[in-house]
Structures are given as structure tokens and as C-alpha cells.
Amino acid sequence: QVQLVESGGGLVQAGGSLRLSCAASLASGRSFSTYSMGWFRQAPGKEREFVSGANWSGSSKYYADSVKGRFSISRDNVKTTVYLQMNSLKAEDTAVYYCAANHVQPTGVMSPRDMDYWGKGTLVTVSS
């Protein structure tokens, strides 16, 4: 019902910035504004972890402690796209970044287990 495609990953030096995008394609009759969106990441040998999330309208936003003050999530419900602006990148931010969606309004950290739809991910590599 929802297809998600991430883009914007790449190689960046520590201290640099990247902007990830996640474009959603929805089945007929589905509205992007009824989906909560989240960004997750998975580093080699580690579990997938929550990075940031936004509710249906984007009025409520949530961040992992490790990225607070450096990353910013936003969404454009007309363009059916969610963004992750990543500033002051660190080597430990290196991971595959995934966007995900579900119908549940988030109240804080989002669990990967609760997400219904996933993109294939985009690789972010931060060199130190």
C-alpha cells in the first residue's frame, strides 16, 4: 500500500551535512497524511535503531538522544516526502538509513517492530 524510496546518502567528512529524502508512493485512495513517518539506521553488526520520527502532520517530532540538536526531520504531505537533515555528522552516524511508515501516532521513540512499511535504505558513510 505504501512504497518508500530513500535517497541522499553518500560519503561525507565528519562535521559535514547531508539531507536524506524518502519519497512515498501510495495506493489509490491512500493519504500520506495518515501515516506517521520514522527514520531508522543500522550500522554493521548492530541492531536497527530509531533516529527520528514525525506524526501525521509533522507537528510532533521525536529524536534519539544521540542525534538531538544535530538532526532535523520534516515532511511535505503534498509532495509525500519526508526529509532528514543531518548536521555535524560524526563517524558513529555511519549506517544504512531507512525510512518507515505506520498508521500509529507516535508519542516518542518509535520501535522498528511497530513499523509497517520500509524503504530499502540509503548508505551514509562519515569519514573521520
Q: What is the per-residue pLDDT across 20-39, written as a single tens digit (0 to 9) for each?
A: 999 999 988 889 999 999 99
At 1 the pLDDT is 86
The model's confidence at residue 41, banded by pLDDT at 50, 70 and 90, is: very high
SS3 string of the chain? CEEEEEECCEEEECCCCEEEEEEEEECCCCCHHHCEEEEEEECCCCCCEEEEEECCCCCCEEECCCCCCCEEEEEECCCCEEEEEECCCCHHHCEEEEEEEECCCCCCCCCHHHCCEECCCEEEEEEC
- 44 burial (CB, 10 Å; 0-12 / 13-18 / 19+) is exposed
Q: What is the per-residue pLDDT across 57-77, written as a single tens digit (0 to 9) for each?
A: 999 999 999 999 999 999 999
Q: Is the pLDDT of residue 107 over 90?
A: no
Residue 93 main-chain phi, psi, to 5 deg = -85, -5
Q: Is the pLDDT of residue 6 over 90?
A: yes
At 28 the pLDDT is 87
At 29 the pLDDT is 86
